[in-house]
Amino acid sequence: MKIMLADDSKVMRQIQRRTLEKLGFPDIVEAGDGIEALQAMQAESKPEIIILDWNMPRMDGLSTLQKLRQTDKATIVIMCTTEAEKPRVIEAVKAGVNNYIVKPFTPSVLQEKLEETLKRCGKAMPVPAAV
């Protein structure tokens, strides 16, 4: 199952990548902003999950989500951001986000949100490879 990490912070993408790899998601692509994310969606084989930051340069996460949902309702999108105010969460839900993680988060929170979201979407978590 391919995952895209769209976040302007390289450090945050590295943290997410390490956690996801431990959870059994080795196929990960990265984007530094919304424009890169949308371009990668067209250029590469499409990810099944996007973990999307809200605050990014050039195109923020909400605009990216809105643009994506114009043509793609199936890709799972989890917003991962410091934007925790209820109106922002509601705005993201109305735009079509599947789940929401507030930064900072622990690896167990990321795992829990992924499991919850995949279950709700009728998909299973992968089995992590033996180390």
d(CA 103, CA 91) in angstroms, rounded, equals: 18
d(CA 60, CA 33) in angstroms, rounded, equals: 7
pLDDT at position 126: 78
Is residue 67 domain-resident?
yes
pLDDT at position 97: 96
Is residue 85 domain-resident?
yes
Nearest residue to 56 via CA among 12, 119, 22, 108 = 12
Domain that holds residue 56: 3-120
Alpha helices in 28-106 (DSSP H): 34-43, 61-71, 86-95
Mean pLDDT by 10 residues, the chain (131 residues): 95 94 93 95 85 95 96 94 88 95 91 93 74 41
d(CA 130, CA 22) in angstroms, rounded, equals: 10
Is residue 127 domain-resident?
no
What is the domain-level CATH number for residue 83?
Answer: 3.40.50.2300
Is residue 130 domain-resident?
no
d(CA 97, CA 59) in angstroms, rounded, equals: 16
pLDDT at position 62: 96
Measured CA distances, 125 to 25, 46, 111 (Å): 9, 18, 9
pLDDT at position 110: 92
Its pTM stands at 0.91
Is residue 112 domain-resident?
yes
Is residue 56 domain-resident?
yes
Is residue 58 domain-resident?
yes
Is residue 126 domain-resident?
no
What are phi and psi for residue 58, nearest 5 degrees? 65, -55
pLDDT at position 76: 96
How many domains, in total, are found in the chain? 1
